[in-house]
Amino acid sequence: MSIPKFPSVPPLSGAQIRALTELVFRPDLTERTVPCYDLLFVFGGSHPEIWITAAHAYQQGIVKQVLITGGYKENATRHHTWTYGRTPEAQVIRDKLVELGVPKEKMVWEDQSANSLENVWFGLQRVDVSRLSTILFVSKAYAVGRQHRTLTRHLPERITLAAYPALTTIGKIPVTSWGWSRVLAHRAVVYGEYLRMVAYGKRGHLTPLEKEITGL
């Protein structure tokens, strides 16, 4: 059974809000521990902030290579600025990164995936994982927790991971770790991320939660 992007949200206590923030946004992952990462893993998406954030990471000189993921999924909800029809997300992101100054020879990509699990499955086939020890990944800020667990489920434990979040908007307001609980649509999308982590962990798609949030 699929989980809606904006599920109904039960009343949330202060403790539940804090627990959701820690699990969904994973602020601990944004503290980078190495000066330069072997790979920048870019999760697919239609929001311009995805490629703007990826370009910024490359321009900081903190990544050696860029892996872009994302195909075309029928009936997917896309950002209102998307004008690229059925073009796979990875191809659009690649072209945008070139426009933003990232050398094409520094990039590899896959354009067949339809979800985050496939982003990881197909994406990791495009690089030699045995040569990687550090990965920085770009995803929507409110998806960092889920994407991190998806990566850890399919990567060797020896690989160090860190996040480079893209602050994407819903209702023209960025979904942030400090403000999501004050906006109804943001509460729904964050709660949906939590439900996905629970459900996909049980299916083996990602590293399961160590403990579910009491009362949710």
Distances (CA, A) of 131 to 96, 135, 138, 182: 27, 11, 20, 43
What pLDDT does residue 38 have?
Answer: 98
Distance between CA atoms of residues 1 and 129, nearest Å: 32
The residue assigned the tokens 């994982």 is 129
Q: Please determine, for residue 202, whether its predicted confidence score (pLDDT) is greater than 80.
A: yes
What confidence tens digit (pLDDT) does each residue in 84-133 have? 999 999 999 999 999 999 999 999 999 999 999 999 999 999 999 999 99
Among 119, 136, 174, 154, CA closest to 56: 136
What confidence tens digit (pLDDT) does each residue in 59-75 have? 999 999 999 999 998 88
The CATH code belonging to domain 27-168 is: 3.40.50.620
Helices 144-154 and 116-124 pack at an angle, to 10 degrees, of: 40
Q: Within 13 Å of residue 179, how many CA atoms lie on the same side as its CB?
A: 10
Percent of the chain residues past pLDDT 90, beyond the cut: 93
Lowest-pLDDT choice from 80-84, 122-126, 140-144, 146-150: 80-84
Give the domain ranges of the chain.
27-168
Distance between CA atoms of residues 205 and 216, nearest Å: 21
141's tokens:
């800020």
* pTM of the shown model: 0.97
What pLDDT does residue 171 have?
Answer: 87
- The two beta strands, 107-109 and 160-163, are unpaired
Q: Kindly state the average pLDDT of the residues 54-61.
A: 97
pLDDT band at 33 (very low <50, low <70, confident <90, very high): confident
What pLDDT does residue 48 have?
Answer: 97
Q: Please determine, for residue 1, whether its predicted confidence score (pLDDT) is greater than 70.
A: no
What confidence tens digit (pLDDT) does each residue in 154-197 have? 999 999 999 999 999 998 899 999 999 999 999 999 999 999 99
What pLDDT does residue 175 have?
Answer: 97
Distance between CA atoms of residues 70 and 126, nearest Å: 13
